[in-house]
Amino acid sequence: MKKLSSAASVLALFAGITIGATTPAYAATDRSGAVLLTIPNSSPCRGGRTVLEGMVAGPSGALYIIFSKGSAGDPALSRWVRDGSTWDNTSWTCAQGPVPIAELGHGNDLAYNANYLGGGPTLIATQGSQSAFPSAKVGIVHLNSDGSINPNADEVTLPTGNISGFCYSATAADGAGKYAARRLGKLWTHAGSGALTSGWTLVNSNLTTHDNRSDQGIDCSANYIWNTNSINDSTPETGWNWVYQYNWSGSDVESDIGIPGNTLMDEIEDISHIGSDFFIGINRNDGLADTVNVFTE
């Protein structure tokens, strides 16, 4: 998503008003945790791209992140690996990137399938967003056997119409695997096998959301789907980002998971997990370094 304007914050400071991370109306619990990775705008893995977009955990625990120039596009993919010692900011290094790939589109979300259509490890990128960049296409980015990024990508058009979030879980459907796609209040699912050009089922047309937030990435596991909604230009200074947890039918499991917006500085972009470790990508505004944080599931 684009970097938000902080004009309201500046005016408040000049007026001598102190703005804090006030608990939102829905009484959410703050589920953001320690910073695992800090990525300044000057990072060579960004190549001058200022906006953190979709993110997903891939083979061997590597983290794949899309960076873009916002409305100017020019998306690129990077791969981050850690030394395995700890889950902290010093254990991660950029192993590859930026790799420009036009098929990433807006790159609102990323999913990982270890053997997509029998062709090996693959990342699947949501080309569209909620409204500014509508698209029913996903980019298919193949990975090499060592997890490195192959820049020769494909694209597939889904029959669902425009989507803004996409995930895959190899453990869903009793280990047969399953996909989910989302836009606004709609949730579609697809069996883990077969082409993405058909076979989708609309399972819910009225997902729980509130506060007029913006669609960001989703994540899924054997039993659940997590939906992230970020602050935007209509959000008040004290507004929070939201994460919703559903079952695979789109019914609520938990609907008041909050990530503070910190006076519109911190904008959630995506969520992913490795085993029982969940984390979120935070696009930070006003030139601040973007981060990957622990998410307390």
Q: For the segment 217-269, what is each residue's pLDDT rounded down to a tens digit?
A: 999 999 999 999 999 999 999 999 999 999 999 999 998 899 999 999 999 99
The mean pLDDT of 97-120, rounded to a whole number, is 97
The answer to the question of residue 25 being in a domain is no
C-alpha span between 191 and 186 (Å, rounded): 17
Residue 86 has pLDDT above 90, yes or no: no
Q: Which residue is it, tokens 């989703």? A: 218
pLDDT average, residue stretch 42-55? 96
In the prediction, which pLDDT does 242 show? 96
Rounded to whole angstroms, the Cα distance separating 133 from 1 reads 10
pTM: 0.91
* C-alpha count within 13 angstroms, C-beta hemisphere, residue 61: 16
Closest CA to 47 of 114, 94, 109: 94
Give the mean pLDDT of 267-286: 95
Q: 252 lies in a domain?
A: yes
Number of domains in the chain: 1
Residue 11 has pLDDT above 80, yes or no: no
Q: Hey, how many other C-beta atoms are within 10 angstroms of the C-beta on 152? A: 9
Alpha helix positions (H), 97-252: none
Expressed as residue numbers, the domain containing 270 is 7-15+30-295
Asked whether residue 239 is assigned to any structural domain, the reply reads yes
Token pair for residue 205? 């047309």
Complete edge-to-edge strand list for the sheet that includes strand 32-39: 32-39, 290-295, 277-284, 266-274
Domain assignment present for residue 24? The answer is no
| More reliable by pLDDT, 247 or 18 | 247
Contact (Cβ atoms closer than 8 angstroms) between residue 84 and residue 115: no
102: domain CATH number is 2.115.10
Give domain status of residue 220, yes or no: yes
Percent of the chain at pLDDT above 70? 91
Within a domain: residue 176?
yes
Q: What pLDDT sits at residue 196? A: 98
Tens digits of per-residue pLDDT, 165-205? 999 999 999 999 999 999 999 999 999 999 999 999 999 99
296 or 62: which leads in pLDDT: 62
Percentage of residues of the chain with pLDDT beyond 90? 81
Q: How far is CA 266 from CA 9, 16, 42, 78, 222, in A?
A: 13, 22, 18, 21, 29
Q: Beta strands 178-183 and 186-191: pairing type? A: antiparallel
Residue 8: pLDDT over 80: no
- Write down the pLDDT at residue 19: 36
Domain membership of residue 226 (yes or no) is yes
2 found inside a domain? no
C-alpha distances in angstroms, 211 versus 20, 166, 236?
A: 18, 22, 10
- 111, 66 contact by CB (below 8 A): no
- To which residue do tokens 């096998």 refer? 193
The predicted-structure confidence for 126-136, as pLDDT tens digits, reads as follows 999 999 999 99
